[in-house]
Structure 1
Amino acid sequence: MTQTVLLLRCPDRPGIVAAVGQTIAALGGNIIHADQHTDRVHDLFLQRVEATFPDGADIEAAMRPVAAAYDMTWEIHRPGPSPRIAVLCSKQGHCLADLLSRVDLGELDADIQFVASNHDDHEALVARHGVDFHLLPVAPDDPSRQSADMHALVRDADVDLVVLARYMRILPEAFIADFPNRIINIHHSFLPAFVGAKPYHQAYERGVKLIGATAHYATGELDQGPIIHQDVTPVSHRHEVTDLIRLGTDLEKSVLARAVRLHLEHRVLAYGNRTVVFD
């Protein structure tokens, strides 16, 4: 028996759950776990199903008439090699170090193909983990060349996911278009508040009582992509900017790691500029 994940999305109407369940049963499959959500505003039904199937079961053929009948978009994810990941970073290495450690410890089922950066600060760290490091500096007279080289490097590596671990360069739209909902960024703020540079300084000036971090899919609009995971921690008037940065970096690591795990386990369904996360 092979355990498989199905992700389904279609206009909401009666009979969807029954049709999917009957199709799985007819193949000799067994549903291990199922979760679903109906977005009434968008009249949309979304479902994640984990099921085991006999070896050789033709799931695609069985699902085609169901998908056609319900105008359904669906994905199938079978067990296989660990997903291939590219990690991009700049000068700050806390998220990078955390991801490398979690992969080494088996907390994240992923194969980091390489780390690429516009700075060489973390080359030794990456080497200690046995991962390839690529330095792509930005030439002051031609900054767009670096973006094109980074795009080519990632594209040619045939990775399943790109993780921006505090990579402080704006990706060109062509890069993002090649990896729809497959680029995860960590933003050091609780979006949509305090977008852009120095959010902890902005938070300090506003006297906030909570700071946060946001992991989201990258889109052509900076820091506006579908949100996967967020978290916050309380702060007070006694905290200075350095304290906010210290607390915030801890949040960034955990928020990014959880978002990556949710994506790798096929628990995120993105639609419009929203996500449903089946955790």
Structure 2
Amino acid sequence: MRNSITNSLQYTRDSMATFVHEQPLLFIIIGLILIRSIIASSIKRKFKKKYILPYENKVNTENQHFYIKYFKKVHSINSIGILIILALILIYILTKVQVIGSVLAVGVGAVILTFQTFVVAFLMYFVLTKKYQVGDHIKVRIDGQDYQGEILDISAFYIGIAGKNEYGESKDQYYHIPNNQLRLNPINKLNLSHDNYTKESIIIPYSNTEFTLPFDETVKEIQKFLNNYLPLRAASQVGNYKTYIGKRYKMSFTYQDGKTHIWIGFLTRRKDEESKMYTILAFIEELKKK
């Protein structure tokens, strides 16, 4: 038993010595890649202590998106790592003059055919990092199933998405979607961030038996309130709702089911949606008969 272990260790040492002697550059490259991984892991741990743990270990009421900064830092480290590995591989290939030319072409072709799924996924990484970044919200449909949420990771072979519903609330789900599956399925960029603008609508059915004032005076009171409460929107305050530039709100009227309906449309940040709706609806209720 002891002789067997000794022989195995001796064989391992001899094999390693032969490899280092015949492929010194490749040995150095592998060593550099391992060192890069160790350094990257150490930096990620420091970033987690700085950006994640201070908020997870206390009642966090100040920053609801504290994790985004961490994932953006991690993504930057991963991107740099991929570039370093590509550079090292390129250096190795260029130093091997004998494999340049037809042999290299055949080798690359064989690799692409054998690992085409991984090759496509890897190439899609560069497309994704150019169009999207950590913190963006997207929706993609794959095999009849919708995946929607916030991008937290874009790696060489997959993209990580924290699931969210149409209101931007977390679904407590995390999706790993292979990059190659995103090549043939359209990706829709969404506006789910709580800091982004969203359009809200209120429909008020008017009846003179419910409201204190006649219809025209009721409308004037509502307009007066909205002019004082809602801000005049500049181009930088409307998001994708360009028709609201220079407006505080929109109002129109319809008639159905024997009643006149007042429609009000306005913009607000998602994080202010609840308070805005409450304030406006509370004023509407004040106009009604007690």
Please tell me the TM-score bracket, short chain as reference.
under 0.3
Structure with larger RCO (C-alpha < 8 A, sep 6+): 1
More helix by share: 2
TM-score (norm 2): 0.22
More strand by share: 1
Between Structure 1 and Structure 2, whose CA radius of gyration is higher? 2
TM-score (norm 1): 0.22
